[in-house]
Amino acid sequence: MSSETLLFDVEHPRPPLRACVSRLAADPAAYTVFPEYDMARQYRTLRLVAEHTDVPVPRVLWLEEDPGPLGAPFFVMERAPGRVPPDVMPYTYERSWLHTASDAECEHLEAATIGLLGRLHDQVPLTEAEFLASPGDGDALRRHVGTQRAYYHWVIDGLAPSPLIEAAFERLEQLWPHEPGEPVLNWGDARIGNVVYDGVDPVAVLDWEMAALAPREVDLGWTVYLHRFFHDLTVASGQRGLPDFLRRDRVEARYADLTGHTPRDMDFYTLYAALRHAIVMLRIAYRRAHFGEAAVPSEPDTLILHHGSLRAMVQGGYWD
């Protein structure tokens, strides 16, 4: 829903057979999930990460900003072989390849993935990443949250607002960090479902459309909460899930050991992650209604798949 992805092979004497992936901007007429799709920005971000870090990203080959050839702007990357923890059915469900991995394999994958974040945050010079700064006034965190408010207002334009999302924004203000950390390059959609693994080793970090400059904890909160999102869904279905994997305390400790930076104000940042995810979920629900796949209920909060956990976070009881 956020872009079109095409897999293809290039057959040519120079270079020899090459497996490729093309990412195309979403069709504006298809009730898009996000207001804009800046393919040049994503392409530039991938090149920046490849140039300044040892974080494994696909090699980008070409960028085409003219929508004429394929009907939308696009860029092309080399394809990385491997496997990805699935969203459908979630990797936390029984019989997924990660659910059946050994404790040692899960430990390795978790440590390697948190290591990606640490190296990304430490190795990219801010002077090279200014094009990813959020617009607006104030520090990087205030501007980042401001873009999410603007996104929410875009989602509900002409539609029913979400009292729960608005309560979450109010709760954020109450939890606002006294001293937000200095900005770093954030991956944005920092979760294991956006990583290709060879066994349990990361070989390609994908999906940079949400990249931005923000405190380190914005990425860490997203990593922690997006796992909890899938785990909570799994538990609600009557399965055990993966309760000991990507636990908040373990993620914080691993990150501190790797970088020397102890994550702070994580109640704020995990709530912020759940809030951001709720806005995306609300847009997707309204998209389904737009195409006649679902009806809009009288209480729009129920359109948010994780409204229960978000409400518990707003009330301060989720992590209990």
Compute the distance between CA of residue 287 and CA of residue 183 in angstroms, rounded to an integer: 33
The whole-number average pLDDT for the span 117-131 is 97
Q: Are 243 and 272 in contact (CB under 8 A)?
A: no
Q: What is the pLDDT of residue 115?
A: 97
Compute the distance between CA of residue 161 and CA of residue 134 in angstroms, rounded to an integer: 24
Beta strands in 206-307 (DSSP E): 212-214
Cβ within 8 Å of residue 218, ≥6 positions away: 141, 144, 186, 212, 269, 272, 273
CATH no., domain 82-315: 3.90.1200.10
Beta strands in the chain (DSSP E): 3-10, 18-25, 60-64, 74-78, 184-186, 195-198, 201-205, 212-214
Q: What is the pLDDT of residue 40?
A: 96
Active site residues: 189
Is residue 299 predicted with pLDDT exceeding 80? yes
What sign does the CA torsion over 12, 14, 15, 20 have? negative
Q: Are 3 and 24 in contact (CB under 8 A)?
A: yes
Write down the mean pLDDT value for the chain: 95
The whole-number average pLDDT for the span 278-303 is 94
Q: Are 67 and 37 in contact (CB under 8 A)?
A: no
Compute the distance between CA of residue 24 and CA of residue 9 in angstroms, rounded to an integer: 16
| CA distances, 317 to each of 118, 120, 271 (Å) | 29, 32, 11
Q: What is the pLDDT of residue 14?
A: 80
Q: What is the pLDDT of residue 1?
A: 72
pLDDT tens-place string over residues 32-79: 999 999 999 999 999 999 999 999 999 999 999 999 999 999 999 999
Is residue 234 predicted with pLDDT exceeding 90? yes
Query: Structural domain boundaries of the chain?
Result: 82-315
Q: What is the pLDDT of residue 3?
A: 87
Compute the distance between CA of residue 61 and CA of residue 74 in angstroms, rounded to an integer: 11
Q: What is the pLDDT of residue 157?
A: 96
Residue among 219, 234, 236 nearest 273 (CA) = 219
Q: What is the pLDDT of residue 187?
A: 98
pLDDT tens-place string over residues 2-25: 789 999 999 888 877 789 999 999
Is residue 218 predicted with pLDDT exceeding 80? yes
Query: Confidence class of residue 165 from pLDDT cuts 50, 70 and 90?
Result: very high
* Bridge partners for 63 per DSSP: 75
pLDDT tens-place string over residues 166-213: 999 999 999 999 999 999 999 999 999 999 999 999 999 999 999 999
Compute the distance between CA of residue 134 and CA of residue 143 in angstroms, rounded to an integer: 6
The amino acid present at 107, given as its one-letter code, is: E
For the full predicted model, state whether its pTM sits above 0.75: yes
The whole-number average pLDDT for the span 105-133 is 97
Q: What is the pLDDT of residue 13?
A: 82
Query: Confidence class of residue 28 from pLDDT cuts 50, 70 and 90?
Result: confident
The amino acid present at 156, given as its one-letter code, is: I
What are 129's two structure tokens?
């990443």
Q: What is the pLDDT of residue 312?
A: 97
Q: What is the pLDDT of residue 16?
A: 74
What are 77's two structure tokens?
């990357």
Is residue 99 predicted with pLDDT exceeding 80? yes
Q: What is the pLDDT of residue 2?
A: 78
Q: What is the pLDDT of residue 17?
A: 76
With a pLDDT cut of 90, the percent of the chain lying above it is 93
With a pLDDT cut of 70, the percent of the chain lying above it is 100
The amino acid present at 32, given as its one-letter code, is: T
